[in-house]
Amino acid sequence: MQFSVQFCFKVPGKENNLFLSKRPSGYYYIFYDKPDGKRCCVSTKAKKKSDAQKFLNDFQNNLRIASESKVIFTDLKSFSFEYLKFSEKFHTSKTHYMLKIILEQFEDHLGNPALNGITNRAGMLSACWANRLL
């Protein structure tokens, strides 16, 4: 028999974007919505509700701090443009040209994702390596 127990905690200004859920394995997970609208889950690695709630409080504080910070997320296209401007001043023309080709191929393969969204978890970088893009 599979069941899930959910406890909702509201974050000021947003509705039901963070909640605690117990999976059939007995472990509690935190489900939350990312700024891009996708729902994510993180294991609390706890089987006790009290331990999971402590983890949730810490996690909620970390999310609040991250959202209040002045971090500016950038996408691949704008990073490439800025880096190539930098490269033009400090690298040789041949190195600059190779960087430009590599970044263009990388962008053709991945599209224009946010830099913090490029991970090897989804096999993004492995696929580029297999296609000899990098």
pLDDT digits (tens, 9 = 90+) for 58-99: 998 888 887 777 667 788 899 999 999 999 999 999 999 999
Percent of the chain with pLDDT over 90: 42
Mean pLDDT of 104-120: 82
The reply to whether the predicted model has a pTM over 0.85 is no
Show contacts of 48-51: CB within 8 Å, 24+ apart. 49/7, 49/22
* Sole residue written with tokens 């006790």: 48
Locate 130 and state its tokens: 């297999």
Cα–Cα distance measured from residue 35 to residue 127, given in angstroms and rounded to the nearest whole number: 26
CATH architecture under which domain 5-68 falls: 2-Layer Sandwich (3.30)
3-state secondary structure of 110: helix
Domain limits of the chain? 5-68, 76-130
Position 64 scores a pLDDT of 83
φ/ψ of 26, rounded to 5, equals 100, -10
